[in-house]
Each structure stands twice: as structure tokens, then as C-alpha cells.
Structure 1
Amino acid sequence: MEREIQNIILNLQKTISLRVESHFEGKPFSLPDFELIGNAPLSDFIKHYKLGKEEIILLASALVPHIIPGFFDNIIREFLPQGGDFPEFGGTKSENQRGMLPTGETALFILAGIDIQARLNYLSVFDQSNPLIKHRIISLDPVKSGEPKLSGRLVMDSEYVEVFTTGKVGLPSLSINFPAEHLQTEMAWEDLVLPDQVWNQVRELQVWLKHKESLLSEFDLGRKIKPGYRALFYGPPGTGKTVTASLLGKYTGKEVFRIDLSMIVSKYIGETEKNLSTLFDKAENKDWILFFDEADAIFGKRTGVRDAHDKYANQEVSYLLQRIESYNGLVILASNFRNNIDTAFVRRFNSMVYFPAPKAEDRLLLWEKSLPEQFTLEKDVALKELAEKYELTGSHIINIIQYITLVSLESRNFMLSRDLMVKSIKRELEKEGK
């Protein structure tokens, strides 16, 4: 990886030096080839996106300040040892960085110098035809109204900086800037107890996650269908919606993030859209599964417009529709009730999976799967009878077993009596006023 980075930097340094020399001394200039070394992350990335010389220069220019702070200053100093203005080269300073940071003007100068026709031809390197711009790997900082767009700083997404320089990237943590929690589970599919119909629909999601690239490219459906997949999980609390989302990620190799809606929704106009934009921009092209728990809090039915608040609330929903439909991964919305979700969303779901409250035979299976092997049941404890009498969900049963285990650990008695089982069940139901 070190040789690869050194090679890219040396090539960029040579290219800029030739361009600046051409500018001051009138020597002929042509873009040199960038030779790739090995199969390190940066070379693999360049090969994957089939980047040309122009795009590699853009990529290298945005990356190099993260490695050599004074890179651009050192080159310019060779030609202007006494200092002086060089506005054609662009560049800017930041609050913390003392070295020059590249702008769009910097990249354009490296590519075209001050040749007007060449500059006009190279402007396309900053539009959506460039995969670096399209996938938000590189962007231009916004500028004040009336200022040239290319005077904005050339910025590389921090995750790509990390992967190009270290070979790996850490997952983001829940914060005000990233309102989503990374979901992981030690459970397996065998731990879930779901009806056959639910299993079949969950397998459909697994099939899509496995074959989505072939679906879009090999069968030429990318022009005809939307890039991602949208599913609604609905049903009573504690029936396995969150665990199913976590297991989908675990068994398909995808990261799952549960969106914290309380950190997204804002009373201030425009802030909710801004928070969502940050989230989706971060997730774009990462192949993450986005799980919106209690989704009706923001995806609920839109209201009639009675005042300005209703107007902006409806705009938030419309914005969500747009971002969810353009997201190229799996989005799962979870709700306790299907009817709580706005009908404008319902018709856009690719699948709707109902997680029912478990029946008596399912509850018995949940008891049998969940009870630790260290426990022994007294003769008067019949799990089948408890399963038939008490309408519990999987999360209820796990909570009950946790309480029973703590009681048993304290008493060092692992023989479960009927009294303890019934007491624990009633304790759990009382929490919900039952």
C-alpha cells in the first residue's frame, strides 16, 4: 500500500511540476500516464471504476493533503521562491490546516492550464458523468452566492481517505452527525420462531440481496426498475422484526443500521431533511441495510394542510419518499400497525411482511428454545400449559427467562417451580398493564 500511495503522489508531483513549468516557461505539456502498482485499495478502486488520467488527477489531488500537508506549497515554491500570487493555481487555506488545500480551480489548472478551450472541455470532470462526483467520493465545498463554483475546496469523503491510506474503514458510531445504531446479533436463524409465510418472504429478501447486481446489470433491468428494495415489517412489538433485520445482515454479509428517529426529526424547518440527507449520503453505495424502527413516527399518514407546520411536515415525507426510492440498498420500515403508514409509501414497497403474535405452539417452541440447559423443571411445571394460557411474544419470554435466571443465580437453585414461573410471567405482563 505504501508503494502505491508513493507512486500516485510522485506521479501527481511530476504532473503539476510540468504544468507549472509550462505555464511560466511556455514549454509543451501533455498529461503523463499514471502507472498503477499492485492490488492495493487505491489501485483496485481506480481499476474498478476505470478511471482515466483526468479522474486520477482529481482523486490524487483531493487525497494528497491528508498525507503531505505542504505538498502544493512545496511545488509552487520551486517556481516562486520569493513568493507571490498565483491565482491561476487556485487553492485555499482552512482554519486548522496551514498548507494549501486544493480547490476545483487547482484541478482544472493541472488539467488545462490557462487554455480557455481546454478548460471548457475539462469542466465535465466535475459533473455527474464522473463516477467520483456521482458517488460523492469527491465533492466541491459550496461557495457563497456569486462566487465561482470551482473556487470551492476539493474534498474527499473521509471513509475513502481512511480505506486508501489504511486499507480499512471503521463503521460510523451513533452520534448527532450519524443518527443510526449499528445492529449486530449473536442469534441464528434457528433461534427465531416464525410462521412459514414469514420465512418465505424473508427468503425473498435474502435472494434479492444475493442477486441484486445481476438483476440490474446482466438482465438489463437497471433502466426499468428502481435500484433498491423497500420492505415493510409490521406486527405487534416483540415478534422478531428487529432480530430478523439483524440476521438478514449477518447471513448476507451486510451491515445493518437502525435509524434513531428521535435524533432525525426536528421542530426546525429544514433540519429533518438535512439530518436525513446526511444519513443517506453516508449510506450511499455502502450496501448497508437501513432499518427504520417505529417508522410511523415519521412515515405516518400525511395531514391536510391547515397551517405552515402541516405544509413542512408533508414536505419531509415527500423528501423521504425521494431518498428511499433512490437508495440502492435495502430499506426496512418497521411498524406495529400497517394502517399507520402513509398510503403513498405502501404502494412503493416491494414486499410487506406481517409478523403475527405467536400462537400457542409457537410459544411452546420459544420456551423450549430459550430456556438455558442448566434449568430443571419441577413436575408441576408444564411448558405446554403455560404456552397455551399466557399470550406472550418472543421478547416477553426472553425478559422472563432473564429474570428467572437472575433469581436462580442469587438463590443457587436451578429447579424451576410453577410459582416462580407464574410470578415471572405476571411480572412481565404487569409492565404493560395486563
Structure 2
Amino acid sequence: MPNSFSQLRSWFKTPEPPETKALVLRNQHMHAATGLAVNLSLGLTHVQQLADSRLQEYLGKGSFQMPDPQLYDDGSPLFVALSHWGLSPSEYLTLMIALAPALQPNFYDLLIHKHLSKAGEFPEFGGVKNANTRTTLPTGDTVLFLLNGTDLTGRLTTWQQILSHDSRLIKQQIILLEDPKDGEPATSGRITVSKEYVEMFLLGREWQPRFSSEFPAQPITTLLDWDNLIVSKNNLEELRIIQDWLEHEQTIKTDPALSRMIKPGYRALFYGPPGTGKTLTAALVGKRHKRPVYRVDLSQMVSKYIGETSKIASNLFDIAENRNWILFFDEADSLFGKRTSVTSSNDRYANQDVSYLLQRVEDYNGLIILASNYKHNIDNAFMRRFQSVIHFSMPDAQERLTLWQQTKPEVVKIADDISFEELAQKFELSGASILNVMYISTIRGLADEQKITRAMLIEEIRKELAKENKTI
């Protein structure tokens, strides 16, 4: 039997199913679910064969024979993923053992009842009961039993190579092995396939986590392009270094010298007044390099319950790892600021939460961007961990002129008494404030069916300055 999926194509001893091939030839728009189901169905068959053989051996009714997995080269997400990962047959079977309940909820109950006519517990098989349906879900013990029976050497090998934290299936968050309760065996936790791959294999689409108290992050995007970013020449040079790292990160990570001496990933601090382009820059970096950017809501991450902040942070980083996400922490000084002096047990636990979060940031293998209004608000102990520290200053007169010109609307006319040069020279506004002035003025112009006038812009500028307790 081939020992890895790098030889996967040699496993196809069975011809392509004629009914599937005929459907493809007759109809190039074959329903997606039909194409997805072929290899998934075969996966269930392989687990069925594995379990039948193992249970027959265990009950003294036959000898064990490992199934010979054969999949069809159909271009389905499952086949493509397996080909890319190069899994061993045991790793593949572990994946399908974990995926089986998502395909057939009562799969393991039917399996056990088939071989054990009398009702009762079967602890050797492992498994836990689903809280909602009371059907059996597999655990790490289920994997150990089905692959190795009672062979202790085989069980230890499978535990180390497939179920340990260092194994690729778990390290890359393909499968998840839940931590058991204190005092219970390490492999007795439920084993599942991550939501990302369940959705990919079963529905053929990319999974997007939903914003919640357990996942306090949302994707940020922009319709603007890099040419729309108005920052200083020095900032563009600093941003170029970040982009160069994104282009060459894999080469850097495999360098024999650097890989031993530096932490994985890249950390940048954007600081400066509100509205100067920090969030836009993060979104543009992701857009240029085709990487999702997730804005982390720190107010949702910080919990009033002791230890919950660390738990939420752990879930966020576990999901983000190995997905090429850029994590953007806005108003980062609210959590990454100077730690409080310890005057109570709550202070001690709060500082522990911050320390844990700082450690996860430092260990993250992708790009992390922290944004703050003031550089000195960030904990000094963390400042040295940034590879880039970029100051987003208020735009100068020439930059403000460009911003006024960029925000000039086409749906309403501009009065002749408006001079963008004058506005740029006279009023020190951020890019966000200029955009807001023009936005509200456009609404007013459309509503009143009139041009945008200088008086209208001045009035809206006065309102923007008032937000910062400033006057004209």
C-alpha cells in the first residue's frame, strides 16, 4: 500500500465511475454537491471497512486488514487538499474518522450496534455522546482503537505522529482534539475537523468566522487603491519593507540562520492622530497581497471574568494561524498599554491576561499591525518587539489639497466660489475629516438640489473641528 498521498494517483485502480464521467461529459454545469459527494462517500466507506475489520478482530471473528484507500481524481476540494498535504493513509483515515459525524450523524452508533447486538457501553471504542442528539462522536481514543486495536506500540506511535500538538493535522488546525477534563486520559477528548475544512469539503466554499464574543474580529476591506493613500514619502518607504516581507516571508522563514534566531511573523506599529490612514493602510496592504485583514475588537476581547481574555485570545490566534491573515488591532493601547501596578488579585490576573496576549502576538507567524493614537501609550517592554514603527502624521497643505481633490463628488456640482487650494492652506484637517466634510456637503447639496458652496463646506469644517474642541 502506498505510504503517503504523494503517491495518491497510483491508488486509482478503479476506473472513474461511468455515471460521474457521463454526467460531466453531458453537462459541464453538473450540480456541485454531486461532485463533492463522490470522495466523501468513499471516505465513509474506508472508515466503515476499517471499523468492521478492527471490531471483527477484537471480537475474535476474523483477522484485521487495513483498508486500501482509493479516491477519484475529480478535482474536488477533498482530493485537492489531500494531494497538497501529502498525508499518510493513517492520517487520511484519522481525518475521515473525525469527519464522519458531519456526513452521517449516527454513523458510529450504527457501526457499534452492527457488531454488538446487546446494548451497553463499549469503552475500548472511545467516543462521547452528542449533547443534542445523543449520538456517538469520536474521540482520540476512537482513532487509537480503530487504527491499532490493543497494540500498545502502535497506539503510542499514532498518538505521537497524529494526535500530538506537534503533528501536522493538529498543528495546522485541520483536525482538533479537545482537551479532556482534569484527571481524564489525554486522548479522551472529542476529535473534530475544523469548521474551515468541514465547509470546504462538504459545501465547496471558504469558511468565514462570524463576529462574536468568542471571535471578536471582522474582515476589513476597501474599494480604494494604493494610489489613493496619501502619506509621506518616508512612510511609503517603511510600508515597502512590510510588503517586501509579505513577498519573501517563506524564504526568510526557511533561512538556516534567521529561522533559529528570530520569532516568526512580522509586527508593525502604526501611530498617529485619528483619521490619518492607519486602518486604510492595513486594508490596502491586505488587498495588494491578496490576504484577508481582520480588525480585532479589543473591547470585545477584554472580559470582566478572570481568565476569559486569555481564552478568547487563544481562540482568535488558533483560528488565524496558518491562514495568511493579517491581524489589525485598532486602539491597541487599550490593551497593549502600560500594565497596571498590582494592588489586588484582579490586577494580577489582568496583567497575566495582557502578558499572555503579548506572547501570542509575538509568536504569531503572520503580519500583525497595532494602531494607536500615541506611541508612548504602548508598553515599553513590547516596543522592541516591533519590526516597524510608523508615524502617521496629520497631512500637510499639499497632501490636504490632494485629499480635497480626490473627494470631489460627481453627483453634485461644486460652486465657483470654492478654492480647494485655499481650504488646504487654511484648515488643518485629517483625511477622514476632509472626507466627512465632503460627504455631508454632498448629501446637503442633493437634498436641496443645489451646488456645494464654500459656505456649506465652511459650516461642515466648523462641525468637524468642534468634534476635537477646536474652532475656526
- TM-score category (smaller protein): over 0.9
Q: Where do 1:106-185 residues align within 5 Å?
A: 106-124=142-160, 125-185=162-222
2:67 equivalent to 1:32: yes
2:26 equivalent to 1:5: no
The CA deviation at 1:147 is 2.0
2:417 equivalent to 1:380: yes
In structure 1, the residue corresponding to 2:136 is in which secondary structure? Answer: coil
The CA deviation at 1:369 is 0.9
1:44 maps to 80
Which shifted more, 387-396 or 417-426? 417-426
Which digits, 9 at most, give the CA deviation of each residue in 1:269-320, with x for residues without a partner?
2111112112111211111111100000000012333332332232122111
2-structure distance, mates of 1:122, 1:379:
78
1-structure distance, mates of 2:178, 2:249:
33
1:325 maps to 362
2-structure distance, mates of 1:140, 1:306:
38
1-structure distance, mates of 2:58, 2:416:
94
* Change beyond 3 A, Cα 1:380–1:119: closer
2:432 equivalent to 1:432: no
The CA deviation at 1:118 is 2.7
**Which residue type is aligned with residue 191 of structure 1?**
N
1-structure distance, mates of 2:388, 2:465:
32
1:104 maps to 140
- 1:49/1:131 contact within 8 Å kept: no
2-structure distance, mates of 1:373, 1:219:
55
- 1:227/1:329 contact within 8 Å kept: yes
- 1:132/1:138 contact within 8 Å kept: yes
- 1:173/1:182 contact within 8 Å kept: no
1-structure distance, mates of 2:395, 2:123:
70
2-structure distance, mates of 1:155, 1:362:
53
- 2:333/2:372 contact within 8 Å kept: yes
2:97 maps to 61
Normalization by structure 1: what TM-score? 0.95
1-structure distance, mates of 2:121, 2:338:
58
Which digits, 9 at most, give the CA deviation of each residue in 1:323-357, with x for residues without a partner?
01111111100001111101111100011111110
2:63 equivalent to 1:18: no
The CA deviation at 1:266 is 1.9
Gaps of 5+ in 1: none
**Which residue type is aligned with residue 360 of structure 1?**
A
* Change beyond 3 A, Cα 1:282–1:239: same
- 2:336/2:358 contact within 8 Å kept: no
2-structure distance, mates of 1:71, 1:369:
60
- 1:181/1:259 contact within 8 Å kept: yes
- 1:69/1:98 contact within 8 Å kept: no
> Deviation above 6 Å: which 4+ runs of structure 1?
none
* Change beyond 3 A, Cα 1:221–1:16: farther
The CA deviation at 1:49 is 2.6
In structure 1, the residue corresponding to 2:59 is in which secondary structure? Answer: helix
Q: Where do 1:214-363 residues align within 5 Å?
A: 214-217=251-254, 221-363=258-400
The CA deviation at 1:94 is 1.5
2:29 maps to none
- 2:400/2:429 contact within 8 Å kept: yes
1-structure distance, mates of 2:453, 2:178:
67
**Which residue type is aligned with residue 153 of structure 1?**
R
Normalization by structure 2: what TM-score? 0.87
The CA deviation at 1:43 is 2.4
2:138 equivalent to 1:93: no
Which digits, 9 at most, give the CA deviation of each residue in 1:21-43, with x for residues without a partner?
11112533242332232232222
Which shifted more, 128-137 or 105-114? 128-137
1-structure distance, mates of 2:313, 2:373:
22
1-structure distance, mates of 2:152, 2:460:
80
The CA deviation at 1:146 is 2.0
Q: What is the percent sequence identity of the aligned residues?
A: 45
2-structure distance, mates of 1:129, 1:355:
41
2-structure distance, mates of 1:103, 1:379:
74
The CA deviation at 1:167 is 1.6
1-structure distance, mates of 2:196, 2:330:
26
2-structure distance, mates of 1:219, 1:371:
52
In structure 2, the residue corresponding to 1:151 is in which secondary structure? Answer: coil
2-structure distance, mates of 1:235, 1:411:
37
Which shifted more, 55-64 or 203-212? 203-212
Which shifted more, 251-260 or 306-315? 306-315
2-structure distance, mates of 1:170, 1:116:
38
2:21 maps to none
Which digits, 9 at most, give the CA deviation of each residue in 1:102-133, with x for residues without a partner?
11111111111122333233321311332112
**Which residue type is aligned with residue 385 of structure 1?**
E
- 1:31/1:53 contact within 8 Å kept: no
Which shifted more, 166-175 or 214-223? 214-223
Gaps of 5+ in 2: 1-35
**Which residue type is aligned with residue 341 of structure 2?**
G
- 1:233/1:352 contact within 8 Å kept: yes
The CA deviation at 1:141 is 2.5
**Which residue type is aligned with residue 235 of structure 2?**
V
**Which residue type is aligned with residue 68 of structure 1?**
Q
1-structure distance, mates of 2:322, 2:200:
15
